[in-house]
Amino acid sequence: MLDLKELRDKIDIVDDKILELLNERMAYVKIIGEIKKNHNKEIYYPKREKEILDRLKNKNLKNLDHDAIELIYDKIFAVARTLERF
């Protein structure tokens, strides 16, 4: 069995990966924001956010319940909308 330090080290590795993936996601968000600006489209698109949440909730297989997924992605969406504006 792993000890506390080993488990925390594993969490640190996962956190690094999550941060890397969030940065990748936000790079795409910035590009999408430019496209929306160039085509005079709205930044906030609730239908797309709902589609993402529904897809992820259906995919979730383990430790996160639907409420947790919504809480996490509500923050991700908020950051994304801010980035799309700039």
Cα angle: 60, vertex 64, 67; to 5 degrees: 100
Residues 26-69 pLDDT 10s: 999 999 999 999 999 988 999 999 999 999 999 977 899 999 99
Between CA 58 and CA 52 the distance in angstroms is 10
Buried b (16+ CB within 10 A) or exposed e, 50-73: eeebeeeeeeeeeeeeeeebbeeb
For position 2, what pLDDT does the model report?
84
What's the one-letter identity of residue 72?
A: I
For position 63, what pLDDT does the model report?
92
